[in-house]
Structure 1
Amino acid sequence: MMLATSTLLARFQHPAQVVAAGFATAIGIGTLLLSLPAATAEGVSTGWLNALFTAASAVCVTGLVLVDTEAHWSVFGEVVIAGLAQVGGLGIMTMATVFTLLVSGRLGLRARIAAQTETKSLSMSDVRRLVLKVVVFSLSCEAVAAAVLTGRFVLGYGESFGRALYLGVFHGVTAFNSAGFALWPDSLMRFVADPWICMTIAIAAIVGGLGFPVVFELARLWRQPSKWTVLTRITVGTSVILLTFGTLVFLATEWRNPATLGGLDDGNKLMAAFFTAVMPRSAGFNVLDVAQMYPSSWLATDLLMFIGGGSAGTAGGIKVTTFGMLAFIVWTEMRGESRVNIGRRRLPETTQRQVVTITVLGVTLVAISTYVLLALTPYGLDQVLFEVISAFGTTGLSTGITADLGTAGHTLLAVLMFIGRIGPLTLGSALALNRRTRRYELPEERVIVG
């Protein structure tokens, strides 16, 4: 009896269960708070689905909405949304960083993390210092972004200091945490030609999406790339490639589109295209009308949203590290080599299997969800696929159909946001921390592939 109880308790302490329970609890509390009459501008209780969807979107730092954030919610409701985004962003940053260190084996923990797993562990004082660094780093970045935005709203738009500070703090929090909530019905489209607003939001999203370990390693070793870890090399390299790819694609595709880039001068076109390439990392703001983009731009955005941002950061998706390692695996196989090497390091076979598993499961989930949503709604494949990947990648971009998907569609998107937020992290940690040694090997048999 004691053994069974101990085993059950140990299973509950598995990282995947702790993360899922924590985020589910935060969503539940957020739903209750947003259901209060005080949370709406009209002073009446909002529907449970709207409250649940908004809470899930905020905690999972997505930004998909069913109603106009500023018009529907009161100041109390907006503060709750920002608070939930803060909790979701800090929670992911903290948990993901701790798991990264556990998996890397650089630190240790004097208690078991899972029922059958012992790590080389870190002391509780190390964990406290680590969490404190993450919190200080996050709040500092948000404060800088809020200060710049506040100054711009006061000096450039004539807002009172109190209103400007409120706008600056709200958007500083949602930008760094990749939440995508904005207090204007057109998101940030009215600021498409304002570099102070656009670049501040974009930089905050990039920094938050890189991940705590990468940012701090860059701060220490930015002049010594040869000493960067594989994580930092892949994250930085892949991020630069994807941002460049996205910017060039949006420039080429939307250059003459009168509803998007067509009406801007060349400098603002470049800035808007760059901003639009940054947002699919999972930040979710937009300065161009997504609904008016060409389908080819939607497809490029789908790809960027599915990949997402860096590991141990606020961004969603399968992560740029997963995508980068997958590219190395494919390239190695095409060259006929037996080992995957990145720089001067060899990628373990266990990591290769984790990369393939996360990617395949992500593709499968998106495919199944797209099929279900197509069956439930009258919309076409382009729009439905965009919506599904936006929810799975916790991005928050939309072609404008979110509010019209019905109860079943909204429930599906809420579940996708939850899975997309905790899925890659919990799956990655579970795969890395649960290694079982097989005591025998079966006979090998060659199978035709292709």
Structure 2
Amino acid sequence: MRFLLHPARAVAFGFLVAILAGTLLLMLPVSHAAAESGSLLVSFFTAVSAVCVTGLVIVDTGTYWSMFGQMIILFLCQIGGFGMMTAATLLGLMVNRSLRLRTKLVTQVETHSLGLGDIGSVAKLVFVVTVVVEVITAVFLTTRFYSAYPMSFADAAWNGVFHAISAFNNAGFSIYPDSLMRFAVDPLILLPIMVAIMVGGIGFPVLHDLRMKIRDPRHWSLHTKLTLLGTGVLLLVGFLGLLAFEWHNEQTLGALSFVDKLWSAAFMSVSARTAGFNALDIGLLNHESWALHYLLMFIGGGSAGTAGGVKVGTVVILVLIVIAEIRGLNDSEAFGRRVGPQAQRQAVTVLVLGSALVVTATVMILRMTDLPTDQVIFEVVSAFGTVGLSTGITADLPSEAQVILAALMYFGRVGTITLATSIVLSKRRMPYRYAEEHPIVG
């Protein structure tokens, strides 16, 4: 148990426990539409995908799982997005009105709070934002489903609740086998889901900062400014890129009206960065659009939110490093602030290790299958970025490859958190420094 005292390990272990519990529950006959015991691999893969809020599936969620099974998946998505340690923190606050130091440290890992004094307020903010956004989104979706589509109020309500929770947690699970393609021309379905995705994926530290200083952008933290700037740029790049690459593709945007093209491209740009819903058939996109998705999925969303990827802040810091080097500056600067060397080292480390995981997994799966390289890369990046988009090959992969994807989803969800915190908490002060030398670069 002493091994788990390290806050970062406690977070990773919490996700692992949730996955194992979810696997056992999904294996129960009551979880299946056919009322029989489920496959271990299917249950495990689905549990990992739900807890790691990814959305990759090897069976159809709406027909393979019973109502009970779908509720279990939804609960796992909520736990995975909300965070095991954040939930434990809220429980501790409700019971004891105070937190022990170790609990604060563990929660700080998950929420990326800037100070231990922020833990309680951030945890409460997580709870309030989660409930409010999910309820509002569910009401909008339920109303639209019931008024515009041939379904009972009970079915409309379940569809609304399921997709609201899945959207806010950036999970990408859908009851429909075509995800949201049947609603590609319905902005009253797409817009609420887009808003929920963005609020959940921007990161709770940003939401906390905006809540405290919404009227004074000058005093927003550098993290908030960098995340908002990076998010805006990525959304615009994804939107314009998809319009350019798919405008004349009759199998995707080409068949839609001008306005519907704009809505579908905007939705795909938002979802591609981590949510995993799709309003267009991913398998029919042009290869340029796949390449654009590689970038968006790998970067992901904001830190300490429901999004995956290496995170927007990480990439923006790396861009600032490059700009500073090109300009011959000693420091990486933005908005009148200097980025510390520790943050720079962490950004480089996260990017290198994330890239290494993607490359390694891609090579391993290519050796197991005869599938095209670009499709395998898409699947691997989607799993690592906890996105859940697929060109349609997930169910056709051999079981060994599916296990590799499950491992990628887990590392993509908790690996970077664990890594970053381990670096911080394991920092040592050496009593000496070696003489400096400058190896040749480039």
| TM-score normalized with structure 1 length | 0.91
Aligned residue among 363, 373, 389 for 1:371:
363
Confirm whether residue 244 of structure 1 aligns to residue 229 of structure 2. Answer: no
Q: What residue number does 1:37 align with?
A: 29
Aligned residue among 397, 401, 405 for 1:405:
397
Q: What residue number does 1:183 align with?
A: 175
2:227 alignment partner AA: T
Tell me the secondary structure at the aligned position of residue 116 of structure 2: coil
Distance 2:380 2:359 in 1: 9
2:319 alignment partner AA: A
Bigger mean CA offset, 332-341 vs 57-66: 332-341
Tell me the secondary structure at the aligned position of residue 367 of structure 1: helix
Q: Which runs of 5+ in 1 are unaligned?
A: 1-7, 99-107
Confirm whether residue 306 of structure 1 aligns to residue 298 of structure 2. Answer: yes
Q: Number of paired residues?
A: 427
Confirm whether residue 326 of structure 1 aligns to residue 318 of structure 2. Answer: yes
CA, structure 1 residues 120+74, in 2 after alignment: closer, same or farther (shift >3 Å)? closer
- Do the aligned residues in 1 keep the contact of 2:366 with 2:376 (CA within 8 Å)? yes
Percent of residue pairs identical: 47
| Partner deviation per Cα, 1:351-389 (whole Å, 9 max, x = no partner) | 110000000001111011100011111111100000000
| Partner deviation per Cα, 1:67-88 (whole Å, 9 max, x = no partner) | 1111100000000000000000
Shift of 1:230: 0.6
CA, structure 1 residues 283+220, in 2 after alignment: closer, same or farther (shift >3 Å)? same
Shift of 1:121: 6.8
Shift of 1:120: 10
Q: What residue number does 1:194 align with?
A: 186
Confirm whether residue 138 of structure 1 aligns to residue 130 of structure 2. Answer: yes
Please give the residue correspondences for 1:319-358 in structure 2 after superposition, counting only pairs within 5 Å: 319-358=311-350
Aligned residue among 179, 203, 213 for 1:211:
203
1:326 alignment partner AA: L
Shift of 1:61: 0.2
- Do the aligned residues in 1 keep the contact of 2:45 with 2:406 (CA within 8 Å)? yes
Confirm whether residue 438 of structure 1 aligns to residue 419 of structure 2. Answer: no
Shift of 1:183: 0.6
CA, structure 1 residues 93+304, in 2 after alignment: closer, same or farther (shift >3 Å)? farther
| Partner deviation per Cα, 1:320-366 (whole Å, 9 max, x = no partner) | 00011111011111111111112121111111100000000011110
Q: What residue number does 1:81 align with?
A: 73
Q: What residue number does 1:283 align with?
A: 275
- Do the aligned residues in 1 keep the contact of 2:11 with 2:85 (CA within 8 Å)? no
Confirm whether residue 429 of structure 1 aligns to residue 418 of structure 2. Answer: no
Shift of 1:391: 0.3
CA, structure 1 residues 92+336, in 2 after alignment: closer, same or farther (shift >3 Å)? farther
| Partner deviation per Cα, 1:66-120 (whole Å, 9 max, x = no partner) | 011111000000000000000000007938x99xxxxxxxxx9745959xxxx99
- Do the aligned residues in 2 keep the contact of 1:110 with 1:121 (CA within 8 Å)? no
| TM-score normalized with structure 2 length | 0.93
Shift of 1:131: 2.0
2:148 alignment partner AA: G
Q: Which runs of 5+ in 2 are unaligned?
A: 91-98, 107-112
CA, structure 1 residues 442+324, in 2 after alignment: closer, same or farther (shift >3 Å)? same
Confirm whether residue 317 of structure 1 aligns to residue 270 of structure 2. Answer: no
Distance 2:116 2:364 in 1: 44
1:319 alignment partner AA: K
Distance 1:110 1:41 in 2: 46
Q: What residue number does 1:449 align with?
A: 441
Please give the residue correspondences for 1:57-206 in structure 2 after superposition, counting only pairs within 5 Å: 57-91=49-83, 94=86, 110-111=101-102, 113=105, 122=116, 127-206=119-198
Q: What residue number does 1:274 align with?
A: 266
Shift of 1:134: 1.2
Distance 2:119 2:378 in 1: 39
Distance 1:230 1:129 in 2: 20
Distance 2:184 2:376 in 1: 26
| Partner deviation per Cα, 1:122-150 (whole Å, 9 max, x = no partner) | 36xx6444323211211111111101000
CA, structure 1 residues 445+128, in 2 after alignment: closer, same or farther (shift >3 Å)? closer
1:431 alignment partner AA: I
Tell me the secondary structure at the aligned position of residue 419 of structure 2: helix
Tell me the secondary structure at the aligned position of residue 20 of structure 1: helix
Distance 1:48 1:438 in 2: 48
| Partner deviation per Cα, 1:142-168 (whole Å, 9 max, x = no partner) | 111101000001111142221111111
Please give the residue correspondences for 1:15-30 in structure 2 after superposition, counting only pairs within 5 Å: 15-30=7-22
